[in-house]
Amino acid sequence: MTPRTSLRWRLRDATSGAHARLDARVGGAFDDPAGYAAFLRGMHAFVATAARVTGDGALVASQAALTADLADLGLDAAPPAAVARADAGAALGWRYVAAGASLGARVLLPRAQGLGFDARHGARYLALQAASGAWRELIPELEVVSSRDETAAAVAGAHAAFSCAEAAMAEAFDAVHA
């Protein structure tokens, strides 16, 4: 399998539009504490749902960090979406989206620090993700998937994950601006 035809690249190409929309939504969240609070609420809803869908223990730890960050800001966590556990292929797509957040956290953590949050107060999740090896650890799994069925399931899972993340962020940001 060539690098550009591996599942990693297929997922990237298949979800590029959703990824761009989500990045655009999140980008302005770090302009002020209210936007950051909305980001945390949206991420909590997404991560809690992804943890339920995938059964991934690392996502449970991320959920706990987000819950603590929300508590630092005096906010309650929103419940996860009511979704069923995914099969292995779809779960791989969900994990692709969730692990990709570790790359974004490296960019977002300094912006949260600019708002006065850090790894001990308000930015535990971002610090955890920025230091995470989740993306690097997932890459080998993505490189060995080759069947059409597994690929289709992973792409469907990644689309579902991005849809969940977009909906969670929209709801969180709408609540802040209501």
Strand partners, 131: none
pLDDT digits (tens, 9 = 90+) for 133-155: 999 999 999 988 778 999 999 99
Asked whether the beta carbons of 18 and 160 are under 8 A apart, the reply is: no
Number of domains in the chain: 1
Tokens representing residue 19 in the block: 């990824």
The confidence score (pLDDT) of residue 4 equals 63
Average pLDDT, the chain: 92
pLDDT of residue 117: 98
- Are 6 and 154 in contact by the 8 Å Cβ rule? The answer is no
Structural domain of 84:
3-176
Q: How far apart are CA 34 and CA 14, in angstroms?
A: 32
The CATH number given to whatever domain includes residue 119 is: 1.20.910.10
DSSP-assigned letter for residue 85: P
| Type of residue numbered 59 | L
